[in-house]
Amino acid sequence: MSATNNQDPAIIDSSHQLPEHASGGKSSALRTIIILAVILLVAGFVVWRIYVNKQDTAAEANKATAAANRPTPVQVVNVQQQTVPVFLSALGTVTAYNSVTINTRVSGQLLQVNGRTVSPQRTAAAGD
């Protein structure tokens, strides 16, 4: 046997060595930097969305507060007795969007108007 046969073949034959990019080195560091950059971008996006969502929620709360503090517009009309021609055949519950409570300034029963006795069957006339 010769002295060249006892040596490591990888040291003797340089054509079978691994390329530099497969052995780690610069590409491993570059890959780590890219992964960290992607993670930081995703984390930054999540933080930004949370911040924007909090601002939107605060703006909606301010709008709701402003809407609650303003008076509700109403219209005044003379009372008329008539039938309401609205018919609907359906199952369910009907609920009004808005409601009004009308209260008298004085409680009690109305017994006389301008010196005349009031009866339950009598209809109030204009000026009573």
| pLDDT tens figures, 100-122 | 888 877 777 777 777 777 777 77
CA nearest neighbour of 73 among 52, 54, 100: 100
What is the tens place of the pLDDT at every residue in 5-64?
555 555 555 555 555 544 556 788 899 999 999 999 999 999 999 999 999 999 998 888
**How far apart, in whole angstroms, are the C-alpha atoms of residue 71 and residue 66?**
10
At 59-98, the pLDDT tens digits run 998 888 887 778 878 888 888 888 888 887 888 888 888 8
User: How many Å from the N-terminal Cα to the C-terminal Cα in the chain?
Assistant: 137
- Kindly tell me if the per-residue pLDDT of 3 is higher than 70: no
In the chain, where the domains are located: 25-67
